Amino acid sequence: MAEPSGPPPDGRATDPDPARTVPGPADVGPGPRVPDTAGASDPRPLAALSGAAADRERWDGRHAVAGPTVAAPPDALRGRESLLPVSGRMLDVACGRGGVAVWFARRGWRVDAVDVSPVGLAAGAAAAPQVTWHVHDLGRGLPVECAGPYDVVVCQRFRDPALYPALAAALAPGGLLVLTVLSEVGDTAGPYRAAPGELAAAFPELEHLAHAERDGQATLLARRGP
Kindly report, residue by residue over 112-145, the tens digit of the pLDDT: 999 999 999 999 999 999 999 999 999 999 999 9
pLDDT recorded at residue 38 = 37
| CA atoms within 13 A of residue 86's CA, in its CB half-sphere | 0
CB atoms within 10 A of CB 208: 14
pLDDT per residue as tens digits for the range 62-85: 888 888 899 999 999 999 999 999
User: Residue 206 — φ and ψ, nearest 5°?
Assistant: -105, 155
Which residues does the chain have with pLDDT short of 70? 1-50
Neighbouring-strand partners of residue 97 = none
118-127 helix and 46-64 helix, angle to the nearest 10 degrees: 40
C-beta of residue 18 within 8 angstroms of C-beta of residue 5: yes
Query: What are the strands, taking DSSP E only, across the chain?
Result: 33-34, 89-93, 110-115, 132-135, 150-156, 171-182, 207-214, 217-223
The answer to whether the predicted template modeling score (pTM) of the entire model surpasses 0.75 is: yes
| CA atoms within 13 A of residue 119's CA, in its CB half-sphere | 22
